[in-house]
Amino acid sequence: MAIEQYFVKGVTYRWAVTGPITPPVMDGAIVRSGVNAPPALTVTGLDADIKYGTQAYGLTMNYVIPHRWLHYVLGRTAFVGSVTTDVLTGFMSGCRICSWTEGGHRRVGHIGTVSLATADQPPNTTVKTAFCNSPAGQAGSHLKGYNPALAWSFDEISRVTKESKNPGSLAPRILSLVTATNDFYSILMMQKMGTNDWVCGGKKKVHGSHRATILAELA
């Protein structure tokens, strides 16, 4: 099965996800930062409350979903090489996720803007400017990207969490998926408070923007 088929509303997982990284200096640097063997993302079944989608069939229980994890590094752009692997990163509140070609190799990056500053102040301006001026922002890089957080409205997220008998026990998060075939998905994941248990609230395929649009958005 393609990786996106494991992210269906109502499917449950066990996952000790890796959190964000705070570097010594939020200097906008572009750094390789990810793991090829991240904590296991294991399919555990179907949720009792969240109504699962019609595609939630043929799943293999206790299957560990193969992927590469891309860190969210605050104030820097983190990237991983991705030729034949699917890349997950998060959690998303406004950062852009991009793919591009550099030195003949495909990369997937997380432009690490932060909520502690406004869009027109450092370190957000620092990281965005550095990315635009890097090889990723140059002509011929095949740059493509998206903002996963924009795919879900507050009302949509609220409707899904309220399907639970105890909606206050679920912490919704937006996860980014960039597949090996360069398809972009925004995935609603909900963590059961105080546990490593998760339930998927659904996924949306997003049409990524190309270089000119991305550079304009980051300007």
Q: Residues 144-174: pLDDT tens digits?
A: 999 999 999 999 999 999 999 988 899 999 9
pLDDT tens profile 119-128: 999 999 999 9
Query: What's the whole-model pTM score?
Result: 0.94
Confidence of residue 80 (pLDDT cuts 50, 70, 90): very high
The residue length of the chain stands at: 219
Is 71's pLDDT higher than 60?
yes
pLDDT of res. 49: 87
pLDDT of res. 2: 85
CA distance 51 to 178: 25
CA dihedral 207, 186, 177, 49 (to 10 degrees): -140
pLDDT tens profile 12-43: 999 999 999 999 999 999 999 998 889 999 99
**Alpha-carbon torsion 158, 159, 160, 162, what sign?**
positive
CA distance 182 to 163: 32
Distances, alpha carbon 8 to alpha carbons 55, 74, 95, in Å = 7, 29, 23
**% of the chain surpassing 90 pLDDT:** 84
Is 48's pLDDT higher than 60?
yes
The overall average pLDDT reported for the chain is 94
